[in-house]
Amino acid sequence: MSFRDKILSLDALPAWRSALRAQGKKLIVTNGCFDILHVGHVTYLEAARQQADVLLVGLNSDASARQLKGKGRPLNPENDRAAVLAALEAVGAVCIFPELRATHFLSLAQPDVYVKGGDFSVEQLPKEERDVVAGLGGRIVTIGFVPGKSTTALLEKIARI
């Protein structure tokens, strides 16, 4: 299977999820911008993958990433970011979503486990996201970051060159 086959549209997501269920597989979902992939991201995704059978990464679209991260971001366009994520062994699939919040994406993905990075506590997640996961009987897990490894730190280092 080509890594490009692991990139799903929102429309394809419900059927893909149904197929996983039919195989008895549990789904982990995480989401983010993943603009400049670095060791912190890879470590996080590997840890997320350990929570169940298949990891789905929800990827903020260019427009939503720009709203979240600010002018000039993302540096890499959404299709490139999706391809790089899909090429990772830990990632079972990638789906680009246009909203600022992952609520609609989560309702389509129907995760058994929703994983977020250590910059969030469960209580800090948007209530709508928590409600979707809880309504599906899923659980929310937070995974700490690798100290000193962030896109912001990387961009600051590049700016000093």
End-to-end CA distance of the chain: 39
Mean pLDDT of 108-135: 92
Side chain identity at 60, as an amino acid letter?
A: N
User: Is 0.95 surpassed by the pTM of this model?
Assistant: no
36-76 pLDDT tens trace: 899 999 999 999 999 999 999 999 999 999 999 889 899 99
Query: Which domains occur in the chain, in start order?
Result: 3-159 (3.40.50.620)
